[in-house]
Every structure is written in C-alpha cells, then in structure tokens.
Chain A
Amino acid sequence: MHVSEQLAAYALGCLDETEAAQVAEHLASCDQCQAELQGYLEVTGCLALAARQATPEAWVKRRVIQRIEPTLRARVAPAQPAWRVALAGLFRRTAPAWGMAALALIVVLGVGNVWLWRQAHPKASGGAEMMVVAMVPVATLPTVQGRLVISSDGEYGSLVVENLPVPDEAHVYQVWLTEGSEQISGGLLAVNDHGYGVLEILAPEPLMSYGTFSVTLEPAGGSAQPTGAVVLEGSP
C-alpha cells in the first residue's frame, strides 16, 4: 500500500508503530503528502464535536484553579512591571506622606485588574458602580494595605495588597470568603519581594453575597479550611 493511502489512518493515529514511522519518514520529504495530511488532520480535529457536550460539575473548575495556584507565585511575581515595582518602592520610602496616594494607586490597580478580567468575560455587565472593600490589617502589620475591588455585578473581584511580609517557602497567603459559618478558599495570594500582590478572586457565588473576606497564612499549597492567623480582613 502506498504511503498516501495510509495518511488518513496516520492522522487518526491508528497505524502501528512501524507503519507510522514509515509514513513519518515519507512525510519529511513529500510536500504533496504533507498537504494531504493536513486535510485529514482537520477532519480528526472535528470528530470531537460528534460527542455529546456535557457540563461538568462546578467543583471541577474550582479544582483546576486550585491545581494551578501553586504555579502562580512563580509566574506572577517575576512578571510585575518594572514601573509598578518602582512605584511600590517609592511608596515604601515615603509612606507617611504618600499613604493616601498609595491607597489610591492600589484601588486604581485593582480596578484595572477587574477591567482586564471583564475584557475576558463579555457577560460582565457595565453601568453600575464597582465596590471597593478596605482590607484591614492586624495590629502587628500596620503598614500592610489592601483593597478588594468587586465588579458591579459582583461576579468578579480583584484583591490588591502591599507591604505584606514575604512568606517563607513553606507558607503561602490564602484568601477566604465567609458566608455564615461556611468558609471557602478564594485562591492563593502570591506576593513579590516587595510584598505586593494581586489576585483575581474566583467564587461559586457573587462576591457581594459573602459577609467577610480575609487573608491567612497557610502551609504551602493552601488549606481546605483556614488554619493560620488572619492578617487582613474586610467586609462589604
């Protein structure tokens, strides 16, 4: 059988190893077969659509987010724009005089983050005012500042913090959403070397429906329920 007659099976992945190797070798030097293979690959790509679509349980998405959170620190912290880091340094050096300006900047950054989120979520409505929740630090961390910015429909929120002590490798900050006696994780909050961090909050219910938002220090990887002391807390 000529190689061209095996391209369909090759695209489907149903040749045995020897046949597949022969086809691959031929493809490396045959533009015509490469072009023909592309057509079969596109067919294979469409076949997934023949399976009946089904909606996974909501916890599946939450679990995906939990699984990627340990990598957020590595990705987010080094990616802080230089100007943002520089500004953070400026505010630290001049904290008493510039305290209000720093707070304003935090709110602006939070709003910007929510705006970016809403760019990726076309269903988010506009019009009504966004809510800003002041996150109050514990007395032992008086320089810590935090604001939670919630979109007007309550679906999306972004927490921005500054001056949080950088945790050691064995610990991580975790955000909690409290509704009555139930507390659920809002995600792990990574901070850079300057104690600056931003976290988009994911929650199964609109953020407005939660009574309290808090941040605790938890073992690396996060906890199912809060185990560490609260370092920041706020209520809508």
Chain B
Amino acid sequence: MTSQQILSDESLMAQIARGQQAALSELYDRYSRLVFGLAQHATGDPGSAEEITQDVFVRAWERAGQYRPEQGTVRTWLASIARHRSIDQLRRQGARAEAQSVSWDEAEEGPSSMVAGSNTQLEAELAMLRSEVRAAIAQLPEEQKQALALAYFRGHTQDEIAVALGVPLGTVKTRIRLAMDKLRVALADQA
C-alpha cells in the first residue's frame, strides 16, 4: 500500500458525512488512542475515558457534515471534543478540588501497539509531532507548566487557577501568556 492510496482524514470525514460506517471505523482506528489517552489523563478514570471516547466518535458521526477543514485538522477537532467532554465530566463529578494533582506526562512512550486498520505512516507522523510537543512543554518552567495543565486539562479559568495555586491573578495571566508564547515559537508549522 502506497501513501497515495491512504485516505486523508478529511476524505474520511466526507465519507462519514455520507453515512459510511467503514470510514468511521477507520477514523476510530487512527485516533481512538489519542482520544482515550487524553480523556484518561484529564479525568484520571479509565471508565469515564471509555464513555468519553464513545461520545467523541458518535459525535464525529453525527456532526461530520459540520466539520470544516479551514477551522483545523480532524485530529485537533477530535481532541477538542474530547477535552471539553472530559472537563464537563469533571464538573459533573465535582472533581475540581483535585485540580492541583494534574500535570504534564513527560515520560517517553514505548512503541505504540498498532490497531487493525491503522496506518504506519500516519502513526509515525503523529509520534514525531507528539515528541516535539512534549519536548517543547518540557522546556517550560515548572510554574508555567502547572498553570497550563490546570487550564488545559481541568478547564479552569485564570481566576480559578490563581485560587488553586495561591498566587495573584496577574501572575497566572503572565505564566499562561509566556507559556503559550514559548510553545507557539517552538511548535511553529507543526500544528
């Protein structure tokens, strides 16, 4: 199989919008590990992550026709749904009191186990990008990483982060902005 024969994510979305169940199956094979991993990291609960993973791909099925490539990649679209669904779940469970426990996972991953239907080239590209993202985050000062994690994984506002960390609001705003600026430079052209 050559790379020319691999359906793009956007083509899969177009097929899903036309009701092609097989295309959804392929999309799941490509991104279920990303979605499940994100949900599990954000909620800390495999059971919740399984429910969220289902919801993300069912929503992809239901809303494929609304997806617009110019607004972002399919990967970021799925990740955004998973992130917001995870934050909703945390709010329902009242788990925000545990906000300070969240952090960035900087451990290197071993080779991923491929799932049926997934694609080696796509998986390799994703692994490379993942490595670059982790390296960029690892370069941030600890206090910036902490503020960023509370915002991204917990959905906290800057006010809530200031309370959780016991620092002035202005300090949190500065940490968030500096962290995002550094990541934007480090990840330029990688998204």
B7, B37, B129, B191: which contacts A51 (Cβ < 8 A)? B37
Given contacts A12-B180, A200-B21, whether A64 and B33 have CB atoms under 8 Å apart is: no
Chain A residues packing against B (C-beta within 8 Å): 1, 5-6, 8-9, 11-16, 39-57, 60-61, 63-65, 67-68, 71-72, 75-76, 79, 116-117, 119-123, 155-156, 187, 200, 202
Nearest 4 CB-CB pairings of A with B: A75-B19, A45-B76, A42-B191, A48-B79
CB distance from B186 to the nearest CB of A (A): 9
CB distance from B173 to the nearest CB of A (A): 7
Q: How far is the CA of A187 from the CA of B21 in the complex (A)?
A: 11
CB distance from B85 to the nearest CB of A (A): 12
Q: Which residues of B in the span 96-146 have a Cβ within 8 Å of any Cβ on A?
A: 104-105, 107, 109, 112-113, 115-119, 126, 129-130, 133-134, 137
Residue of A with least CB distance to B176: A9
The answer to whether A56 and B49 touch across the interface, beta carbons within 8 angstroms, is yes
Residue of A with least CB distance to B183: A43
In the assembled complex, 13 residue pairs joining A and B whose CB atoms fall closer than 8 Å, in A order, are A5-B173, A9-B180, A12-B180, A16-B157, A42-B76, A46-B187, A47-B137, A47-B152, A48-B83, A54-B37, A64-B57, A116-B20, A116-B22
CB distance from A91 to the nearest CB of B (A): 24
Given contacts A50-B134, A55-B113, A64-B24, whether A14 and B12 have CB atoms under 8 Å apart is: no
Q: Which residues of A have CB within 8 Å of B133?
A: 46-47, 49-50
